[in-house]
Amino acid sequence: MRQKALASQEYLEVARRCAEEHLKGRLLEHTRGCVEMAQKLARRFGLDADKAATAAYLHDITKAFSLEQQTALLQKLGMSPAELASHLPAVVHGWLSALIAKRELGIDDPEVLQAIEAHSTGCAGMSDLSKVVFISDFIEHTRRFPKAAELRGREYPTLDEAVITILRRKLEYLLEGRAIVDRRAIECWNELVERARQKET
């Protein structure tokens, strides 16, 4: 049954239960690692650690679904064909997970929902909470891909610097493989780099 009007204090417990009921194996291990890192970063940068953990618990809640299942659920939940076509298959689970969080779990906090949506690509107008989940998804302790350990071990003075560093690594990987880059990642990169340039002048 759908829950409505959750108080912010309830978000975390609802998200934790949902993740532990629906995820398993490496995906659950990754999610728990992401939660741990998100809470750590949130506290370091003066953000709400419970909200960061809520988004981290839910960010991959639909990743194990097939693309056909994801597409069918997105359409059922009201995403138009045009909007659906604007999302690359590899990252569409973020938007589906956010819709599930909102429609089925009653989580309506805009920062939490954006953090779930944008955890793979980033986006323009990214909140600090979204940056924390984006970073955590990439560097949490179960990640074993090249440079994960190196990036995990760095001390980033700002969230923007951490996002730029990680997004650069993601973009390099995609460009090396001649893969299509999601426009949201490009918009995020341009915005953050422009902001960094303005601070330097």
Architecture of the structural domain at 8-200: Orthogonal Bundle (1.10)
Q: pLDDT, tens digit, for every residue of 8-57?
A: 678 899 999 999 999 999 999 999 999 999 999 999 999 999 999 999 99
**pLDDT attached to residue 75:** 87
Dihedral, CA of residue 128, residue 131, residue 137 and residue 141, to nearest 10: -70
pLDDT cut 70: percent of the chain above it:
96
Average pLDDT along the chain: 91
Relative orientation angle of helices 110-117 and 49-58, to the nearest 10 degrees: 40
Whole-angstrom CA distances from 60 to 81, 100, 191, 194 are 22, 11, 25, 30
Q: pLDDT, tens digit, for every residue of 132-155?
A: 999 999 999 998 877 777 888 788
Minimal CA–CA distance to 138: which of 43, 47, 50, 59? 59
